[in-house]
Amino acid sequence: MAIERLGKLAGLVALPALAGGLYLGLVWAPPDAMMGDVQRIMYVHFPSWIATGLAYLTAFVCSLLYLVRRTPRLDYLAHAGVEVGVLFNATGLITGSIWGRPTWGVWWTWDPRLTTTAIMLVMFAGYLIVRAFIEDPDARARVAALVGIVGFVNVPIVYMSVRWWRTLHQVQSSPSTVHPDMVVALRVMMVTFALLACYLMTRRYELARLEGEAERAEAAPHG
């Protein structure tokens, strides 16, 4: 499978990229003038959201295409996108919470950005739960595609939340206002996390494909 080979390639590139990104983020980039070393959390926090967005976008596009074409492989890839998206959604929330304690003084607050990302996690975790409760593969894929599409509606709301309701979480930074060394470290980690997400999605796709093939073979009438 071409997609699985591409995923393995992404994984192979991600490993040295991760080593380089960790060096850049933890050693090479300067500490923030106000926050000190705690700002280095940015190099895993923001890339987590890049990976989350990429994974959920994959799930959204594949869910839409599934409803048009009804190809099981689109359903497998949508499933993979949601599962990997939930993983990075969780790392984004956890690192944000750990960053929030020394900078805001709280582990958690019902700020619109935090609240919408938490809702996003719950909605996509719901997608995985819904899948687990439907036995028929076609009905499961159809319902999951609908949940995936509805769930994705929240993604642009998450992105815009810091502009629409300006409270505690900062708005998106511009590279022009950040030290160039920080920008390099952040970009390397963003690419690394995107590659990791691609690798994990293709592995999860492979698993869904194997499970789907076995399930359909079992359901087929035996001669």
> Contact positions toward other proteins, by CB under 8 A?
22, 26, 35-38, 40-41, 44-45, 48, 87, 90-91, 94-95, 98-99, 101-102, 196, 200, 203-204, 206-207, 210-211, 214-215, 218
- For 69, residues 6+ apart whose C-beta sits below 8 A from its C-beta are none
CB-nearer residue toward other proteins: 35 or 150: 35
CB-nearer residue toward other proteins: 122 or 149: 122
Least distance CB 178 / other proteins (angstroms)? 18
d(CA 8, CA 52): 19
Instruction: Report helix, strand and coil shares of the chain as percent, to nearest 5.
Output: 85, 0, 15
> How many whole angstroms from its chain centre is CA 172?
18
Least distance CB 176 / other proteins (angstroms)? 25
Least distance CB 138 / other proteins (angstroms)? 18
Least distance CB 201 / other proteins (angstroms)? 10
Query: In 105-136, which ranges are continuous DSSP H helix?
Result: 112-133
CB-nearer residue toward other proteins: 152 or 205: 205
CB-nearer residue toward other proteins: 57 or 206: 206
Write out the DSSP string of 93-107: HHHHHHHHHHHHS-S
d(CA 207, CA 96): 31
